[in-house]
């Protein structure tokens, strides 16, 4: 992927979490997965962001998901984009790799986020996986600070990490 889409900047972070958040993260992984691919999908001057059913009102973020065991990385990224946003994409650039150490009081979990820019190719913005994604829409970069504010105001470490990730990705767009 690096040969094809470029060498990303690399960051590492320690992210404190409540034990319940760490337990939730661990419950969402299967087949030894400890990663996500986060996609900043451009359509014109905007980006496609998603919301999950449990998010606070008004919160949207870049779509993300995991590659299945034995699935090609690029195929997995395109599948996740289709499931979460309803659109077909083309990966453009590998911009950032973040290795995060999620730390609860008595436990931890190491995770890697691979962040790519992608270009919208076709399709209606309408999530296919309605159980996981409650909405998807186009957002301008001027809207992103309010989403990061909502994330940080929750006091949850997982949202704090997503706000950090978003800040760092936007610096590289």
Name the percent of the chain in helix, strand, coil, to the closest 5: 30, 35, 30
CATH at 154: 3.90.79.10
The pLDDT tens digits of the residues spanning 58-116 come to: 999 999 999 998 899 999 999 999 999 999 999 999 999 999 999 999 999 999 999 99
Write out the residue range of the structural domain in which residue 96 sits: 2-171
How far is residue 84's CA from residue 90's CA, in Å, rounded to a whole number?
A: 15
Is the overall model pTM greater than 0.85, yes or no? yes
- Domain count along the chain: 1
Ramachandran quadrant class, 32 (left: phi over 0; alpha: psi -120 to 50; beta: rest): left
Q: How far is CA 49 from CA 16, 42, 98, 99, in A?
A: 25, 10, 20, 22
């Amino acid at each position: 992927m690096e040969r094809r889409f470029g060498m990303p900047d690399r960051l590492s972070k320690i992210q404190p979490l409540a034990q319940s958040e760490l337990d939730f993260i661990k419950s969402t992984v299967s087949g030894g997965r400890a990663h996500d691919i986060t996609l900043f999908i451009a359509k014109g001057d905007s980006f496609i962001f998603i919301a999950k059913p449990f998010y606070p009102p008004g919160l949207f973020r870049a779509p993300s998901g995991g590659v299945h065991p034995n699935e090609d990385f690029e195929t997995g990224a395109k599948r996740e984009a289709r499931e979460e946003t309803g659109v077909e994409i083309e990966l453009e650039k590998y911009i950032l790799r973040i290795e995060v150490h999620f730390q609860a009081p008595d436990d931890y979990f190491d995770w890697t986020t691979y962040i790519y820019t992608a270009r919208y190719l076709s399709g209606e913005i309408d999530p296919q996986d309605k159980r996981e994604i409650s909405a998807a829409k186009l957002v301008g970069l001027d809207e992103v600070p309010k989403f990061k504010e909502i994330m940080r105001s929750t006091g949850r470490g997982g949202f704090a990490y997503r706000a950090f990730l978003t800040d760092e990705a936007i610096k590289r767009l």
